[in-house]
Amino acid sequence: MALLFMEGFESHGGSSTFLARKYATALNWGNVTTGRLQGSCCTIGSGINARTSAFGAPTSTCVIGFGYQDATAGGSASNFEINIISGAGDQLRLRFVGVTTTTFRVDLMRGATLIESSPSYSTLNWHYFELKAVIHPATGTYELRRNEILVMSDTGVDTAASGSADWDAIHFTTAADGPLGGTARIDDIYILNAVGSINNNFLGDSVIEGRLPTGDSLADWTPSSGAAHWSLLNDINDATRVTTGTAGDVDLLTFDSLSFINGTIHGVMTMVQAGLAGLGTRTIRNIARSAGTNYNGASQVVETTGVAGFYEIWETDPDTSVKWTLSGLNAAEFGFELVS
């Protein structure tokens, strides 16, 4: 799998608690306003500390794309940063720095060492940045694109501040006094590695559209009240839920069609939020139903009486093994199963 993660700040109802369940750490992350092209985006204030969970076995190549905008940049040296990390150590990072009250630049850093700076850009506009980096202490490479145009690159450089030739997570952070005047925004994030034959290089300017369930297709689990399941699962109230103790029980849900995306669909992320009613462990998995057949996501262990998020990336339509079509995705159903 090459597509590892996506974030559009969609479908979490403005609840930073619900959004945080996708991350290993998510402090001050998820305050939303109107999105870059549609839906929602995250406003970047002070004290952000958001880190993805580790993406399995470390790899050497990282590609990350995201929309960024700031309406009131200043001259502060303490700004928003996106860090490519390995374990607990930073490898390479992008730092957004106010140049004037109406411009900012992007610095590529290795620890405290400045590798290269971009030209200055207007704070009034959204910009879509994409960074591709091969992490290595001697033969690393990097390319930074803005709106699909190359703005900086090099080869044969040290891109590994910790010394290891790999990465496994992304860390979003700001200093205590916040970024660029405190009104920066980020949206439409994708994260890739170079594994596999698709989604292993720049995707170009991308947008993420979110959906919550609007109907039931299969309802094996037991609702906390009433008969409808979808209406218990589309809010930010943990008390409205479905439960089961029976292995093999599946809930499948229907969703409204996408209304903005009409181009290439690089992948779908589904997520169930689940917790235990008592001590022990349970195993669940995400389910996709395409063209009348159920397809299983990876089994994942639930081991907390709190609530955690369990997501699955479907890079292709599991029924066709090629990229999703808009009609195929709009017709698909998604849900979850108690495996054991």
CA angle 299, 305, 309 (to 5 degrees): 45
| CA end-to-end distance (rounded Å), the chain | 25
Query: How many other CB atoms sit within 10 Å of the CB of residue 149?
Result: 6
Structural domain includes residue 202: no
Structure tokens at 296: 């299983």
Structure tokens at 79: 């700004």
Q: Of 213, 208, 320, 191, whose CA–CA distance to 265 is shortest? A: 208
Structural domain includes residue 265: yes
- Residue 60 shares a structural domain with residue 179: yes
Query: How many other CB atoms sit within 10 Å of the CB of residue 129?
Result: 22
CA dist 147 and 166 (Å) reads 27
CA dist 219 and 230 (Å) reads 9
CA dist 234 and 13 (Å) reads 9
CA dist 159 and 120 (Å) reads 23
- Residue 157 shares a structural domain with residue 228: no
- Residue 185 shares a structural domain with residue 232: no
- Residue 106 shares a structural domain with residue 255: no
- Residue 172 shares a structural domain with residue 231: no
Which residues are 82's β-sheet partners?
94, 172
Structural domain includes residue 200: no
| CA-atom Rg of the chain in angstroms | 20
- Residue 187 shares a structural domain with residue 261: no
- Residue 217 shares a structural domain with residue 188: no
Task: Give the CATH number for residue 229.
Answer: 2.60.120
- Residue 138 shares a structural domain with residue 280: no
CA dist 231 and 95 (Å) reads 41
| pLDDT at res. 97 | 86
Structural domain includes residue 154: yes
What is the extent of the structural domain holding 188? 3-192
- Residue 287 shares a structural domain with residue 248: yes
| pLDDT at res. 30 | 84
Q: Mind listing the pLDDT tens digit of every residue in the chain (340 residues)?
A: 799 999 999 988 778 889 899 999 998 888 889 999 999 999 887 788 999 999 999 999 999 999 999 765 554 444 789 999 999 899 999 999 888 888 889 999 999 999 999 999 998 899 999 999 999 999 999 999 999 999 999 999 999 999 999 999 999 998 644 444 457 899 999 999 999 999 999 999 999 999 999 999 999 999 999 999 999 999 989 999 999 999 999 999 999 999 999 999 999 999 999 999 988 999 999 999 999 999 999 999 999 889 999 999 999 999 999 999 999 999 999 999 999 9
- Residue 142 shares a structural domain with residue 47: yes
Structural domain includes residue 201: no
> Residue 69, class by beta-carbon neighbours within 10 Å (0-12 exposed, 13-18 middle, 19+ buried)?
buried
Q: How many domains is the chain built from? A: 2
| pLDDT at res. 44 | 85
DSSP conformation class of 124:
T
Structural domain includes residue 204: no
| pLDDT at res. 78 | 46
CA dist 48 and 20 (Å) reads 12
| pLDDT at res. 102 | 85
Task: Give the CATH number for residue 39.
Answer: 2.60.120.200
Structural domain includes residue 275: yes
Structural domain includes residue 39: yes
- Residue 180 shares a structural domain with residue 233: no
- Residue 113 shares a structural domain with residue 223: no
